[in-house]
Structure 1
Amino acid sequence: MRTFSPKPADIEREWFEVDADGAVLGRLASEIARVLRGKHKPIFAPNTDTGDHVIVVNAAKVQMSPGKAETKLAYRHSGYPGGLRSRTYRELLDTRPEEVIRRAVKGMLPKGPLGAQMLRKLKVYAGPTHPHQAQGPKPLEVDHSVRRLSQGRSA
C-alpha cells in the first residue's frame, strides 16, 4: 500500500470560531494550533498545510495562571544593538490582547515558511465581533482545553 500524500485539490478548508472568554491561554492555543495544522483531519501530513481557518473572539478575556501575567515577559528586538525591549504579559493583555494569543499559537506551529502559512489562517479579535460572517464559521468545541482558574486545580 502506498503512502497517501494530500494534493491541494484534496484539501477542503473550513472556518471555525472560538470564544476565548475564560479560557486558559496555553490550553486554548494548543487546540487552535492543532486545527490550524490540520491534525484533526484524516488527511494530515506533517509537510503540508491541511489545516482550517480559526477566528478567535474575546481575546481580551483570556486567562493566565495566577501571577504569570505579571512575571512572564514578551520580548522584541529592533535589530539594532541595545534594541531589546520587553513588556509583561499584563501590559500586553491591556494594550494588545490579540498579540498574546497570536504569540502563544505561533510558538506551537512549525518554524519556517510552513508555519508562517498556517499562522496566516488565524484571525484574532479582542471583542465579541468579527468581519468573517460571510465564511459561515462553525463553533469549535474546546471544552476539554478550557478550565476556569478560579475553580482550583484538579489532580
Structure 2
Amino acid sequence: MKTISVKPADVEKKWVVIDAEGAVVGRLAAYVATRLRGKHRPDYTPHVDMGDNIIIVNADKVVFTGKKRDDKRYYHHTGHPGGIKETSPAKILDGRFPERVVEKAVLRMLPKDSPLARQQYSNLRVYAGPDHKHEAQQPEVVDFKSMNSKNTRG
C-alpha cells in the first residue's frame, strides 16, 4: 500500500461555522487548530494546507473554567525597555475586540515560525456577534458543544 501525498491542487476545503456561545476557550481553540491544520482528514499531508475555512460566531460569549477569566494573564512586550504589558481575558472580553481571545488561543495552538501555519491561520474568521458575511460559501454548521459535555459551561 502506497502512502498518499496530496498535492495542493487536489485539496478540497470546506467552510465550517462554529457557534462559540458558552464554549470553553481552550477546548474550542484545540478543536479549531486541528481543523485548520487538516489533521482531522485521513489523507492529511503535513506540508500542505489541507484545513477547512472556519468561521466562529459569538466569540464574545466564550467561557473560561474556574477563575481563569479574572486570574489568567496575557503578556506582551512593546520592544522598549521596561515595556512588558499585561492584561486579563476579562478586560479583553469586556473591551472593544472580544474576538481576540479566541483568535490568540487558536494562534498559540498552531506551529510557531512557520509560513504554512500563517497560511492556515488566515483561514480563520472570528466574529463577536451571531452574524457573519460568508453565507455565499454555504458553510456547514458544526455543533461543537454537543461533541463532549466538557466543551461547555453554564
**What is the TM-score when the length of structure 2 is the normalising length?**
0.91
Instruction: Tell me the residue number matched to 1:6.
Output: 6
Name 2:69's counterpart in structure 1. Answer: 69
Which string of whole-angstrom CA distances, capped at 9 and with x for unpartnered residues, describes residues 23-71 of structure 1?
Answer: 1111111111111111121221122211010000000110101210111
Deviation at 1:4, TM superposition (A): 1.7
Secondary structure of 1:16's counterpart equals strand
The number of aligned residues is: 150
In the other structure, the counterpart of 2:32 is: 32
Residue 122 of structure 2, aligned match among 103, 120, 123: 120
Q: Distance in 2 between matches of 1:117 and 1:81?
A: 32
CA contact (8 A) 2:8 2:49 kept: no
Q: Name the residue aligned to 1:51.
A: 51
Distance in 2, Cα, partners of 1:83 & 1:49 = 36
AA matched with 2:147:
H
Secondary structure at the residue paired with 1:63? coil
The amino acid that maps onto 2:47 is: N
5+ unaligned residues in a row in structure 1: which ranges? 151-155
Change (3 A) 1:148 1:7: closer
**1:153 paired residue number:** none
Q: Residue 49 of structure 2 aligns to which amino acid in structure 1? A: D
1:100-122, CA deviations, whole angstroms, 9 ceiling, x for partnerless residues?
Answer: 00111111111221111111000
Letter in 1 for 2:4: F
Greater CA deviation, 1-10 or 127-136?
A: 1-10
Q: Which runs of 4+ in 1 moved over 6 A?
A: none
* Structure 2 counterpart SS, 1:149: coil
Aligned counterpart, 1:102: 103
CA drift at 1:97: 1.6
**Structure 2: runs of 5+ lacking an equivalent:** none
Q: What is the one-letter code of the residue matched to 2:119?
A: Q
Give me the whole-angstrom Cα distance separating, in 1, the residues matched to 2:55 and 2:126: 6
RMSD: 1.4
> Is it true that 1:133 corresponds to 2:135 in the alignment?
yes
